[in-house]
């Protein structure tokens, strides 16, 4: 069974991802860094393991090349899409259009896999 990264505060994740092109590249993304950008809730800390899971941070929390490329608003969406498809490849193997699936289909997949 696989361990998949997730966040409970998807709206906050979206806000954080929108901030990446607006701010400089940190040496490491830490809880302190998140807090400096206004993401202080303990629920928002899950952003870090998710970014590691999709390859935007290395194991130490340092931004990867994908993180840096994501800052380019023209290239960012495709880099993010590729990273998600690669990281959640088992999901996309079963549901090639996973991004269009309803909550029930996704819940069924993850409940079986985890």
Please report which confidence band the pLDDT of residue 1 belongs to, taking 50, 70 and 90 as the band edges: low
| Nearest one of 4, 23, 26 to 15, comparing CA atoms | 23
* Mean pLDDT confidence for 20-46: 96
- Residue 2 has a pLDDT of 64
Average pLDDT value over all residues in the chain: 94
d(CA 77, CA 110): 24
Global pTM reads 0.89
């Amino acid at each position: 069974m696989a361990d998949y990264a997730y966040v409970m505060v998807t709206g906050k994740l979206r806000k954080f991802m929108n901030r990446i092109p607006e701010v400089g590249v940190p040496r490491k993304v830490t809880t302190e860094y998140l807090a400096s950008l206004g993401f202080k809730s303990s629920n928002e800390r899950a952003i870090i393991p998710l970014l590691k899971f999709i390859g935007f941070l290395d194991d130490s929390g340092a931004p990867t090349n994908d993180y840096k490329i994501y800052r380019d608003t023209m290239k960012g969406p495709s880099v993010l899409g590729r990273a998600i498809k690669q990281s959640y490849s088992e999901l996309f193997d079963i549901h090639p259009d996973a991004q269009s699936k309803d909550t029930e289909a996704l819940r069924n997949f993850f409940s079986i896999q985890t």
